Amino acid sequence: MARRASLQGSQAAPPLTSRNISQGLALLTNLDQQRQPREHDTQPYARKNPMKTLTPQAQSTMPSSTTKDLMHWNTGSGRKSEVTGRDLLLMMLTSLKHCGSWDIVAAVFKQKSATFQKRVLIYIGFLHPFFMRKYVAVPAEKWTMSQLAANGDRFTNYPYARYATDVTFQQTNVPAGSYAEKKSYGHKVEVSVLLNGLAINCTKHYKGSVADKSIFDDNLEFHANGLAKQGDDGRLDDPERVGGARQWAVLVDKGYQGIQRE
């Protein structure tokens, strides 16, 4: 019985077909709809998902290094991956769109969860510069305070604030041994978001025990540049002068006490 189980475990996974992928994506879409809140969104703006706008034509705007990675994904020494670069691009986009759990998405593509997760994360590392430039850096330069005011996207009660900043906590596996006595099993990432729903900065991850203010201080250069008043901002009304004559303010919670003295 044990021999039969070992033989079955050593068999290679069946090849992917268009039908299997279509069925899997339909299942993920159904699960994604079930996760959505039943109430209608009451926010004054709609959060935009850049993954929905990434069409096949968008590949032409990718840098040459990205195209090279697609073509030479399996080039080099060592064991070759059975997944092509184009298939891995589909896996990555599917994970970004539907990934509530690695196990579910990995099962759709008939791969082991650990292997699938490692491949997707490595591939995201290749495309990270393109995504950051197109969906983070460019919108940050476009949506100045003057542009936000012209579009009606200023905070009603805090018109002198350009964006809001907070940390998001991502749970991780509980460590074994003496580390299990700790209580912070996760990572923190600081995100800055404009009122129109666009994120203009996302930091690297930090340990869950790191204070929110410490993360803010570590990214002080971005905040200094992001809150600096531009040439056209002088005509905007700023009676409170919270950020001074040269800077706008940032909205944060009580975990950031003390940043006003920076």
What average pLDDT score do residues 200-214 get? Answer: 90
CA 73 centroid distance within chain: 23
174-205: burial string, b at 16+ Cβ within 10 Å, e else: eeeeeeeeeeeeebbebebbbbbebbbbbbeb
52-85: burial string, b at 16+ Cβ within 10 Å, e else: eebeeeeeeebeeebeebbeebeeeeeeeeebeb
Tell me the per-residue pLDDT of 37-82, one tens digit each, with 9 for 90 and over.
Answer: 544 444 433 334 433 444 454 545 555 555 555 556 666 566 676 7
What average pLDDT score do residues 118-137 get? Answer: 87
Question: pLDDT category, 221, cuts 50, 70, 90?
Answer: very high
Least confident of 10-14, 104-108, 123-127, 155-159: 10-14
Does this model's pTM top 0.95? My answer is: no
Q: Where along the chain do its domains lie?
A: 21-28+45-73+82-130, 143-174+182-261
Tell me the per-residue pLDDT of 234-254, one tens digit each, with 9 for 90 and over.
Answer: 777 766 665 566 888 899 988
* Number of Cβ within a 10 Å radius of residue 149: 16
pLDDT of 214 over the 90 cut: yes
Q: In the predicted model, what is the mean pLDDT of the chain?
A: 75
Give pLDDT, residue 182.
54
What average pLDDT score do residues 1-17 get? Answer: 51
Tell me the per-residue pLDDT of 158-185, one tens digit each, with 9 for 90 and over.
Answer: 888 899 999 988 777 666 555 555 555 7
